[in-house]
Structure 1
Amino acid sequence: MTFLVSGGGADGMLAIFEQVVRRDNIQGLWRGMAPSMYRCVPGVGLYFSSLHSLKTALCEEGRPLGAVQAVLLGVAARTISGVTMIPMTVVKTRYESDVYRYRGVVEAVRTIYSKEGARGLTCGLLPTLLRDAPFSGLYLMFYTQIKYKIPEGLLASAITQPFDVVKTKMQLYPDKFSSLLQVVIYVRKKYGYKGYFKGLVPRMLRRTLMAAMAWTVRLSSNDPILKLLSFLVMLWSSLEYVRGVAWSTSVE
């Protein structure tokens, strides 16, 4: 997905999948697994705990969520999670790319901080929140209001995809892009409006699988240990499914 967004190399998910295997063998499909786990496991846990706390504090017990309530709760919970986990989001995005060659997560954090300071570990925060917060709000609304009738993950992913493109550009190339507007203009000039939806298919697969399975695990069991184990397995398998598209090359 990172490869598709950055616009380098082959075009299309299957072509990139083949290119990664041909170039780096099968292990290339798992590039970026470690930072993904560091980000996703605590991030999703924080999201659900924040969602539960906010719902308990602000909503009437036993009353179904309204559409507006669902959107606001999802946005607020994801904002808390997104701000907290932004350093690992930056590391994950760069770790998956060809632009940076880190040997480990710790080295990545140290290198980014030593060269760019705290700003480097928070670059792309605004487009990240503009991508993730609306996604979670829309997903929760679709899930609670029209449960099982529409693919809520697909709709939420499509609506927020332009922000994913902007976020990836800003985090991969902080020297080239210093503001959200710069990236918006660059993508429009270089790729046209379709550039805002590059990488949409793999992202839809990834986000839909993860969101659907996360909610299934959360709602299907009250055993916290089983929830944790199931959730770890879910994250591992779903991230593996799309890891073949997590590459990038330099901006032309």
Structure 2
Amino acid sequence: MPKQIDGISEAIKINGKQSVTRQASVNNDLGALADGWAIDTTVPLDLKKSADKDYHPVLKAFLAGSFSGTFSTILFQPLDLVKTRLQNPSQHVVAATLNGRIQPGMITIFANIIRQEQIAGLWRGMVPSIARCVPGVGLYFSSLHWLKAKLGKTRSQDLGALEAVTLGVVARTMSGVALIPITVIKTRYESGVYKYNSLGGALKAIYKAEGLRGLSCGLGPTLARDAPFSGLYLMFYTQAKQSVPKEWKQSPSAASVVHFSCGILAGIAASLATNPADVLKTKMQLYPDKFPNAFSAALYVQQTYGIRGYFKGAVPRMLRRTLMAAMAWTVFEEITRSIGLK
């Protein structure tokens, strides 16, 4: 009897263990089904975390930069249009004259555009502007992030004045060279001199009439404008941020105001310093046959307008570049903080 009892007890134990094992298996299976996965399927990693880690920091910087550039490009396009018209005042502009020369003002240009082309005319050249500025800003920020990583710098505050200038110049040069054909089309769209029906049509027309030289005309002045602008802007921006108390930058309510204010100050200084190159760029891209190089354009501006000619369109350009850059940097700073780049 004792042996039989022991045997029964062992059987009960074995059956109990099997029952528990089966119950655990059933629970696991039910849990798997409840989670939406098939039975005996290994639950994958957290998709959100995995996807977030899979994106390269340079790609994140590109997307953040492109996003920040979109709204500022659309918002400030009228200022860019007026700037181009001010630098090319021969297009039926009704304005006061000074010493026998047409001297249109910013308000006059606005009034003429609205009268002749309606309100929508202020956004003429929007397609090439977006095609240039949105990827251009993205390329700039991603190049800047990549260059900072190569130098072992994780934040803009870590950059010295000379480093900021150098990185800004190199990053803008990279994006400027890549997008020079769109820059040419954008300038011609805004001038009112050329009548292109589409971005693709403009590319074909310029290439057919002028070849690759036409698609890259004004590259020198463009880089002489954009590269120093970006270098000086980044230097002024980082130095201004370094002078602000840390608690202000760490405060959620004050951080955006600090970034925007630093951007405004940096934009004013950088815009004024690079406006002469912008004037030469406009002349060369509108009249490539008349101005085959920067020297011929500079000679014409000097003889026709004097020193003041190099600052034509400075006010709308300063407003646009300052506000656009400040907004782009503010949005970029907030996006990069939210996606973990800072």
Q: What does 1:30-179 correspond to in 2, within 5 Å?
A: 30-61=123-154, 64-147=158-241, 148=261, 151-179=265-293
Seq. identity, %: 61
For 2:108, the equivalent position in structure 1 comes to 15
Q: Which residue, out of 25, 28, 34, partners 2:118?
A: 25
Q: What is the root-mean-square deviation of aligned Cα atoms in Å?
A: 1.4
Q: What does 1:189-228 correspond to in 2, within 5 Å?
A: 189-222=303-336
Deviation at 1:27, TM superposition (A): 1.4
- Report the secondary structure of 2:158's partner residue: coil
Mapped partners of 1:60, 1:206: distance in 2: 30
Mapped partners of 2:154, 2:239: distance in 1: 17
CA 1:181–1:56 in 2, change beyond 3 Å: closer, same or farther?
Answer: same
- Report the secondary structure of 2:191's partner residue: coil
- TM (normalized to structure 1)? 0.86
Residue deviations 1:40-60 (CA, integer Å, cap 9, x gap): 010000000000001100244
2:178 corresponds to which letter in structure 1? Answer: T
Residue deviations 1:62-108 (CA, integer Å, cap 9, x gap): 67110000000000000000000000000000111221100111110
Q: Is the CA contact 2:229–2:271 (under 8 Å) kept in the aligned structure 1?
A: yes
CA 1:67–1:176 in 2, change beyond 3 Å: closer, same or farther?
Answer: same
Gaps of 5+ in 1: 225-252
For 1:6, the equivalent position in structure 2 comes to 88
CA 1:60–1:211 in 2, change beyond 3 Å: closer, same or farther?
Answer: closer
Mapped partners of 1:165, 1:42: distance in 2: 24
Mapped partners of 1:187, 1:119: distance in 2: 22
Mapped partners of 1:199, 1:21: distance in 2: 18
2:319 corresponds to which letter in structure 1? Answer: L
Mapped partners of 2:325, 2:312: distance in 1: 21
2:168 corresponds to which letter in structure 1? Answer: G
Mapped partners of 1:144, 1:156: distance in 2: 13
Gaps of 5+ in 2: 1-82, 96-103, 242-260
Residue deviations 1:109-138 (CA, integer Å, cap 9, x gap): 010001111110000000000000000000
- Report the secondary structure of 1:221's partner residue: helix
Deviant stretches of 4+, over 6 Å: none
Mapped partners of 2:193, 2:154: distance in 1: 49
Residue deviations 1:171-195 (CA, integer Å, cap 9, x gap): 0000101110001110000001000
Pair member with larger Rg: 2
Mapped partners of 1:76, 1:13: distance in 2: 33
Deviation at 1:21, TM superposition (A): 0.6
Deviation at 1:221, TM superposition (A): 2.2
- Report the secondary structure of 1:96's partner residue: helix
- TM (normalized to structure 2)? 0.64
Higher relative contact order (CA 8 A, sep 6+): 1
1:190 corresponds to which letter in structure 2? Answer: T
Mapped partners of 2:240, 2:154: distance in 1: 21
Residue deviations 1:198-225 (CA, integer Å, cap 9, x gap): 000010111011100110111112456x
Residue deviations 1:114-168 (CA, integer Å, cap 9, x gap): 1111110000000000000000000000010123467110110000000000000
- What is the aligned length? 224
